[in-house]
A = this chain, B = another copy of it.
Amino acid sequence: MSIVSTVNTEMEEKVKLSEELWSETCWEIGESRFDPDQAITAGSNFMIGNGYMGYRGTFADDRAGQYPALVVTDTYDNADGTWKELVTAPNGLFTTISCQGKDILWRQGGFREYERRLAMRWGEWSARAQWDTPGILVEEERFCSYDDLHLLTSRTRITALGEVALEITTGIDGTVWSLNGDHFSSLSLEEGPDCLEASCVTGEQGYHLVLREDARLRSGPEGEIEPCRRTALDGTLCRVFQVSLREGQEVVLEKRVVLYSSNDLRDTTKITSDAARGPLPSLAEVRQAVAAGLSRAVARDWNLLREAHRRVWQERWASADIMIGGDPVAQTLIRYNLYHNVIAAPAHADHLPLGARGLSCQAYQGAAFWDQEVFNLPMFLFTEPETARRLLVYRYRTLDGARKKARDLGYRGAFYAWVSGDTGEEICPSYFFRDVLSGRRIRNHFNDWQIHVSPDIAYTVWKYVAATGDQEFLYRYGAEILFEVARFLASRVHYRPGLERYEIIRVLGPDEYHENVDNNYFTNFQAQFVCRYAVETYDTLAEEHPQTVRGLEERIGLEKSERDAWDDIARRIYIPAPDSETGLIEQFQGFFELEDTRPEVIKKRLLDPGEYWGWPNGIAVETQVSKQADVTQLFMLHPQACSREVMKANWEYYEPRTQHGSSLSYAVYAICAAWIGHGEEAYRYFLRSCTVDLLNTGKAVSGGTFIGGIHTAACGVAWQIVVSGFAGMYLTRDGFGFAPHLPPEWESLSFRLKRWGGTLEITLHRRAMTVKALPENPRDIQITLGSAEVSVAPGGQVALPLEG
């Protein structure tokens, strides 16, 4: 499948995104052909969610084989001894329709006028189809409410195209898809007063998960139809409605599902460990919360529920939207990606991670990786900084887990988990791939050698504080994160006496094919940056906010001598320098001595297409083929790390040697390509990055491990490709700088940026850039464009000519 950026003539006004997908207004994606083999991909692409729960874009009658899932945040549980992951709740939207005694099942196709769509604007899923024999039209719409995060609701309209006898079976499917074992030690489905209830207890943690479903069938505004019986088949509990319709007549099924888990009722304000959250609430308490939530939902008209939900979305898009003129495909893609970043983010909480697959499935354990800070967070930092803050507070709340990991491995400070769930303890298993040739498991060292996650988080503390000026965050949370990371680094570096330098030995850099490497440029640079920032912060705090230093001295035993050690490391850590002739920076020590080849060459060496390419003996290990950007990745975080010439030399060297085995890779190459003037490549990589899920270029299963679902990092970083890459936005001391390189297809580009509590509206045209400051901005913001520097006062507006 490939992107076709022109409007398809047959579809007239629709933007064709691929052979299968289209958009009408650039605010939705839709499909008009149903492919049952695309259940995993489409289920993810069309999913809805609200940061508390995710509901896959499957059909109401789908069973486990079609991978429906209601994924609930803050329910980490280990069912199989290996994978600690979020659980999938019973499916409260489960509904089947039978017409004239014959089951109408979406998954079997056999309909016409089919359409499934996801309205990114409203976070709403809808589908419609017409079955000829017997003749009915079914139209369903659903959303996970942003107004009440515990509410999932749907409305299904069935219109008779002839005279039909309908049987609608609707309730809860308790036999749902779970990736790695059955999480529920008990699961009961019961009929309560006016509702059905699923009540589950997770096997490892003993969390309660209670879900209630209310279903109403109406024929006309007032004509509520009572269910005729209850049925419990194959792990479901449903109520059955029977109704006969004449041609043109319709019935409407409204379903309201409310769910809570034990953790939703626990204290989240003072978490630094699971124990700090206090005891688990009783089942009765959980049930009470569900009952109250369902009462509220039932009491409101469905349209009003939707209205309240939409209001939240409207507000969020007001900050987050990016408008691209002249390129409807790009316009649709960017919104699709921003949408998925938004629904993945637990914006309501500051004790939860943004999962690498969001809430699109259980893959990647619903947990945060370094992706959270480097790929997902920047969009929020500049559009919804309170969400960025919460994600960082989550890192504060999980410091104990990071401290434990460091301690367990013989280090000090905070070594953040590679895979970070609720407590921040490392939940990345030591074994997750198999050698397909021998069938033996492979020990990968993502969990103990990939140390850059810690400085990446501390770096993001810097970035957050720099962008927002949120000193209170720094005093309360950021400084402790920062110092604990610097402390970790100080215990992790090695000093080479003869060379009089610090080194970092035995790591994985971002490129995960090469484990066990030394002096990885990315890692060392980040470590240096963090040590330097820790010293600066220490000095500033000691002078300006000594009570923070005193507090940390008491709380974590901070010592002045540590600050001096960080200073020494920052000064003397080994940072591979660009080669004086070629400008090349070695990804890690010895990289350039590896076989210099290309992904397409070594691919031919595979004995089995399912082989893992990396450590310890995959085909890439002894070559310069990298899984993803590594040196270039550093540039993305530190645009000023080197000259544009050096950046260009390295981009051009590493790019053909990169396999893009990670969805994180394209965006990095896109952003840097924009900076170095490789406009076509930048645009090409932008499209590849934005369509990782949409065009399903990846595989859902690798080495026996399910890796499907939404690549939220690729979604989040789409914002950076456009704003940091094409618009060339960068932070300056007093505002923002820009070095725009818009794709030639783009007539205009417009987005909002927040800083210090104020908002700017940036619009780039071919020849000029306008910057508008909202009237409520608290201060002037300075704009740098080339050699021009102007200040934009609250309510003010400036226009700057663009060169070229």
Contacts and interface: CB of A to CB of B under 8 A. Distances in A.
Contact of A607 (B438, B490, B498, B516): B438
A92 B231 CA distance: 96
A486 to B, nearest CB: 12
A295 interface: no
A494 interface: yes
Contacts of A503: 494
Interface string A574-612: 000000000000000100000000000000000100000
Interface in A404-444: 410-412, 435, 437-440, 442-443
A491 B498 contact: yes
A505 interface: yes
Q: Number of copies of this chain in the oligomer?
A: 2
A757 interface: no
Nearest to A562: B498
A495 B495 contact: yes
A6 interface: no
Given A616-B616, A617-B435, A617-B616, A498 B442 contact: no
A495 B497 contact: yes
B498 A494 contact: no
Contact of A494 (B494, B516, B617, B622): B494
A678 interface: no
Contacts of A634: none
Interface string A463-501: 000000000000000000000000000110111111100
A565 interface: yes
Interface string A430-461: 00000101111011000000000000000000
A616 B502 CA distance: 28
A447 to B, nearest CB: 14
B496 A491 contact: yes
A90 to B, nearest CB: 39
Contacts of A442: 617
A63 interface: no
Interface in A497-539: 497-499, 502-503, 505-506, 516
A569 B497 CA distance: 10
A442 B505 CA distance: 23
B497 A565 contact: yes
B490 A498 contact: yes
A58 B498 CA distance: 54
A338 B410 CA distance: 47
Nearest to A499: B491
A426 to B, nearest CB: 15
A568 B497 CA distance: 10
A498 to B, nearest CB: 4
A576 to B, nearest CB: 13
Nearest to A438: B437
A665 B262 CA distance: 58
A63 to B, nearest CB: 38
A299 B589 CA distance: 64
Contacts of A491: 496-499
B622 A443 contact: yes
Nearest to A502: B497
A667 to B, nearest CB: 32
A442 B621 CA distance: 11
Contacts of A505: 494, 505-506
Contacts of A516: 516
A599 B770 CA distance: 73
Contacts of A497: 490-491, 493, 495, 502, 565, 568-569
A125 B503 CA distance: 59
Contact of A412 (B437, B439, B498): B498
A490 B442 CA distance: 35
A506 B438 CA distance: 27
A411 B503 CA distance: 14
A410 B501 CA distance: 14
A496 B411 CA distance: 10
Interface string A609-634: 00000001100001000000000000
A496 B492 CA distance: 8
Contacts of A490: 497-498
A568 B439 CA distance: 48
Contacts of A569: 497
A412 B438 CA distance: 41
A616 B493 CA distance: 25
Contacts of A607: 438-439
A496 B497 CA distance: 10
A541 to B, nearest CB: 22
A438 B438 CA distance: 8
A572 to B, nearest CB: 11
B494 A440 contact: no
Given A440-B617, A505-B505, A495 B498 contact: no
A614 to B, nearest CB: 12
A691 to B, nearest CB: 34
Interface string A37-61: 0000000000000000000000000
Nearest to A488: B498
Contacts of A439: 607
Contacts of A498: 411-412, 490-491, 565
26 contacts: A412-B498, A435-B617, A437-B437, A438-B607, A439-B607, A440-B617, A443-B622, A490-B498, A491-B498, A491-B499, A493-B497, A494-B496, A494-B503, A494-B505, A495-B495, A495-B496, A495-B497, A497-B502, A497-B568, A497-B569, A498-B565, A505-B505, A506-B506, A616-B616, A616-B617, A617-B617
Given A494-B503, A505-B505, 7 more contacts: A443-B622, A490-B498, A491-B496, A494-B494, A494-B496, A495-B495, A497-B565
Q: Which 8 A-B pairs have the closest CB atoms?
A: A494-B494, A616-B616, A495-B495, A491-B498, A437-B438, A616-B617, A437-B437, A505-B505
Interface of A: 410-412, 435, 437-440, 442-443, 490-491, 493-499, 502-503, 505-506, 516, 565, 568-569, 589, 607, 616-617, 622
